[in-house]
Amino acid sequence: MANTRSAAKQARASERRRAHNRIIKSKLHTLEKKFMGLVEEKKSSEAAVILRALFSALDKAAKVQVVTKNLANRKKSRLTARLKAAATA
């Protein structure tokens, strides 16, 4: 429990940010699961469409610091490699 008015205000703001960040991360996880499912089913053309949406979502999340820039870049690199491997196999 916050002891001062400013600490209480900070706690409220922190809860709002947490809720907002959870929404964004949930969307990222959903897109990633959808992409991985399509890759497993060897539907590379549909997976490429989802990959573009996932790239956009990762970049937006990194822009507002929900995830780090390095994490976003690492995921983009690994997901692209996974799509290429599935397309050639």
- CATH code at position 25: 1.20.58.110
**What pLDDT does 88 receive?**
87
| pLDDT at site 35 | 97
- 29-74 pLDDT, tens digit per residue, is 999 999 999 999 999 999 999 999 999 999 999 999 999 999 999 9
The residue segments making up the domain with residue 47 are: 5-88
Q: Which amino acid is at 26?
A: S
Q: Coil, strand, or helix at residue 41?
A: coil
Q: Give the helix ranges, DSSP H, for 41-68.
A: 44-63
Rg over alpha carbons for the chain, rounded to the nearest Å, is 17
16 CB-contact burial (10 Å; exposed 0-12 / middle 13-18 / buried 19+): exposed
Asked if residues 52 and 16 have their Cβ atoms less than 8 Å apart, the reply is: no
| pTM of the predicted structure, to 2 decimals | 0.88
* Between 88 and 51, residue with greater pLDDT: 51
Local confidence band at 26 (pLDDT 50, 70, 90 cut-offs): very high
pLDDT of residue 1: 81
Q: What is the total count of domains within the chain?
A: 1
3 state DSSP class of 86: helix
